[in-house]
Structure 1
Amino acid sequence: MSIKPPVVYLLALLCATITPPAQALVQRAFVASDGNDANTATDCQVTLPCRTFSQAITVVNPNGEVVAIDSASYGNVTLTQSISLTAAPGVYAGTSVSTGNTGIIIATPNISVVLRGLTINGQGGSVGILINANNAKVSIENCVISNFYLDIPDRQHGILVQQAATIRIVNTLMRDNDIGIELPAGATADISRSKFFGNDTSIFARNLTSGTTTTVAVSNTVISGSFYGIYAFANSSATSRIEMVRSIISNSDTGVFTASEGGTASFSFRKSLVTGNIDGLVELGSGATLISYGNNTLSDNLNNPIIGTLTTIAPL
């Protein structure tokens, strides 16, 4: 005997009513040293936290946050939506990045990410923070990124930006990396109240794409003990522009290096100190420029305070 259509309909309706609903995402999840990643089943609540960032982010809705509530290493993570990773006050929230790995990857265009109070330590890993997302906005606040150092030919990075993203770095320490931060064509960075110590190249604006501009603004920041403190490079009608105010570059081989191979590479500064370097300011190539607004100090640079031409412009 065949089942009549109304009976089929009722059976389908019954099945639908007993199907468990999809788990709702939450605004805030928590990780802890004694957490358990199986707690994703209960949304990584503060009383039942997860153990790793990579699992906690799976229960958080866009623009939500994951909070580390005690001191531990919380593992590497790839971020594909707008989110904040935050350490509670006084907490060490870190990740140790082993050989061949990257600490934090930001991989989706147009998202906004906040990293606050994190410590990212290189243990042979290649990159601390990799930003490979066009138009992403990334804020790095009160972080420590260190020990990404292998030297030539395998350059490691504290922060490597590979797309035209917007980066904000505030009150962050970048220490003992091959390259502190490298920015490509179209990227924009604001660096404020931060310290760059012992990096081979601390801030590197490297533009290889014609018709694009890489822009970096540095304020209230100390750069010391580098081979290149600040390096702006451009070729093929590209532009790299770095501006600095109320900052110090000291005790480096070359304080500032601007180099052009067909593009425009510029560095301008005001109310700043360049001191104790082997060479203070260096320009190389017809498109490289050095600009002072007349209220800076160059002192005790061992070989040359300036190699090239320093153009002075009266401050407004």
Structure 2
Amino acid sequence: MLRSSLVVFALLVSLAAASASASQRAYVSAISGDDANIATGCVVTAPCRWFTGAISAVDPGGELVVLDSGAYGTVTITKSISIISAPGVYAGISVFSGDGITIATPGIHVVLRGLNINRIGGSGNGINMTAGNSLVVQNCVITNFSVGSGLLVSSDSLVRVLDSLLRGNNFGARFWAGKSVLVSGSRLLENAMHGISFEASGSPIGAVISRSEASGNGSVGFYAQASIGWQVRLNVKDSVATRNGSGVFVHSGAGTILASVSNSLMSENTNYGLGAQSEGAKLVASGNKVTHNGTGLAQTYDSVLQSTGDNTVSDNTTAFTGTITTINKM
């Protein structure tokens, strides 16, 4: 009887300790934080110092809140969590090697809000997602990943990039997979290769880009490619692509591309404003202004480029190449 009572007591103590060490919300502070406070749950009056320590104090589905400006270190996320920094608070992740944020656990849901992720050294990525159910990147700045990508996704996930800046990376954002991708209100600036690249090679990709800007990227502002047996569905609307190698360019690598571009501006791009290449690639243009590019609309190598007849194509070095098919606007 005594032994049973001791076992029950030990179990209750263990559960109480577990309850104390994990909670719905934990806090980090660059001013007063100390990771010794993990033991008491990183509460607001006794916050932790680094993301990687504080995350252990949060229950799955909980929040990690940044209290004041500072650097909070790289982190690997293994549970559903929201990492949140309020407007006016600089929540920095300085990356000296590897990736800034790693997401590699199946089934989890991650929200990143108000973070500044900056490469100092190494050859990694700002955010690298190889597994997980969903990711929201909101009001974040991801810069200087000149060897890797600001955001790299290779999992069949739901991804939202909202009101964020990806600048000075090799690729601004690169998707090798992604069952549902939305990029809205975001800027993809001065990346060495593509502003954003959808390259279906292991699963189909469905993507919408809205109210976003791709500017000053070395190759293509908005790019799509599909390997054999795979498909990319891309819808670009109400967006701007300027001063890139090409504005929007879709290329079938023996897969299928179904793309549409509507109510957008393609301007000052060195090569194409809108371009499609290779059999299996189809691009429909509607209501766009295409001006001051090397070539306004370009159809090459058995691709399909269709126009609804209401695009303004003017003042390009060459207005059209290939066959542009006019279709009725639905």
TM-score (norm 1): 0.90
| Match among 192, 199, 210 for residue 206 of structure 1 | 199
Note the alpha carbon deviations across 1:235-279, whole angstroms, 9 max, x for none: 212111211111000011111221112111233111111001012
**What is the rounded CA distance, in whole Å, between the counterparts of 1:15 and 1:238 in structure 2?**
57
**What is the rounded CA distance, in whole Å, between the counterparts of 1:186 and 1:129 in structure 2?**
15
Match of 2:250 in 1: 258
Q: How does 1:70-85 map to 2 (within 5 A)?
A: 70-85=68-83
Match of 1:310 in 2: 305
Structure 1, unmatched stretches of 5+, are: 1-8, 151-155
Match of 2:314 in 1: none
Contact 2:230 / 2:255 at 8 angstroms: preserved in 1?
yes
Match of 1:153 in 2: none
1:17 match: secondary structure: helix
Match of 1:3 in 2: none
Match of 1:291 in 2: 284
Task: Report how far residue 167 of structure 1 moved.
Answer: 0.5
Structure 2, unmatched stretches of 5+, are: 309-327
**What is the rounded CA distance, in whole Å, between the counterparts of 1:311 and 1:73 in structure 2?**
49
Identical columns (%): 38
Q: How does 1:172-187 map to 2 (within 5 A)?
A: 172-187=164-179
Contact 2:61 / 2:79 at 8 angstroms: preserved in 1?
yes
**What is the rounded CA distance, in whole Å, between the counterparts of 2:284 and 2:260 in structure 1?**
4
Contact 2:153 / 2:178 at 8 angstroms: preserved in 1?
no
| Match among 20, 23, 34 for residue 18 of structure 2 | 23
Task: Report how far residue 12 of structure 1 moved.
Answer: 4.6
Task: Report how far residue 18 of structure 1 moved.
Answer: 5.2
Note the alpha carbon deviations across 1:158-184, whole angstroms, 9 max, x for none: 011011011001100010111111112
**What is the rounded CA distance, in whole Å, between the counterparts of 1:206 and 1:98 in structure 2?**
28
**What is the rounded CA distance, in whole Å, between the counterparts of 1:167 and 1:141 in structure 2?**
11
1:109 match: secondary structure: coil
**One-letter code of the match for 2:84?**
T
Note the alpha carbon deviations across 1:6-31, whole angstroms, 9 max, x for none: xxx41452354256323212111000
Runs of 4+ in 1 over 4 A off after TM superposition: none
Match of 2:103 in 1: 106
Contact 1:232 / 1:266 at 8 angstroms: preserved in 2?
no
Instruction: Answer yes or no: is 1:140 the counterpart of 2:149.
Output: no
Between 230-239 and 9-18, report the one with greater CA deviation: 9-18
Match of 2:186 in 1: 194
| Match among 207, 220, 228 for residue 228 of structure 1 | 220
RMSD over aligned Cα atoms: 1.5
Between 171-180 and 200-209, report the one with greater CA deviation: 200-209
1:290–1:13: structure 2 CA closer, same or farther, 3 Å change rule? same
**What is the rounded CA distance, in whole Å, between the counterparts of 1:40 and 1:23 in structure 2?**
12
Match of 2:316 in 1: none
Between 140-149 and 262-271, report the one with greater CA deviation: 262-271
Give the aligned length. Answer: 297
**What is the rounded CA distance, in whole Å, between the counterparts of 1:299 and 1:48 in structure 2?**
57
**What is the rounded CA distance, in whole Å, between the counterparts of 1:186 and 1:159 in structure 2?**
12
Note the alpha carbon deviations across 1:1-60, whole angstroms, 9 max, x for none: xxxxxxxx4145235425632321211100001310010011101111000111111111
Note the alpha carbon deviations across 1:215-251, whole angstroms, 9 max, x for none: 1100011110012111111121211121111100001
1:23 match: secondary structure: helix
Instruction: Answer yes or no: is 1:40 the counterpart of 2:38.
Output: yes
**One-letter code of the match for 2:86?**
A
**What is the rounded CA distance, in whole Å, between the counterparts of 1:173 and 1:221 in structure 2?**
10
**What is the rounded CA distance, in whole Å, between the counterparts of 1:232 and 1:15 in structure 2?**
61
